[in-house]
A = this chain, B = another copy of it.
């Protein structure tokens, strides 16, 4: 286990993204690649100084929503952004902004794909007002 992989696992833990069904499925097929992937993405890129982890997750949400290729990837980063302290309202705003980057239809798809993560379930703490 390399230092970079350990750093990657540490960052992953901080984002609350240790559980990821698709990454686990990929790891059953290509375990060494998934270790390299975690080392690179989290141990090399997200671990860099110069921008804090919370900000990096907002950037990831904006990017994956604009790309619109994988609801699973977007959802993972929305969950991480919530875990790192962004409010539902701030994440919803980030997804709404997709309308300016990639069109209204992509923004609606992104919000619909994350509906259960973003909907207010607790009547005592109203979201998005």
Contact = CB atoms under 8 A, between A and B. Distances in A.
Contacts of A28: 115, 119
B29 A67 contact: no
Contact of A73 (B41, B105, B115): B105
Nearest to A48: B93
A108 B67 CA distance: 16
B106 A51 contact: no
- Mostly, the A contact residues are helix
A37 B108 contact: yes
A109 to B, nearest CB: 5
Copies in the complex: 6
A112 interface: yes
Interface of A: 22-23, 25-26, 28-30, 33-34, 36-37, 40-41, 44-46, 48, 50-51, 55-56, 58-70, 72-73, 89-90, 92-109, 111-112, 114-115, 118-119, 128
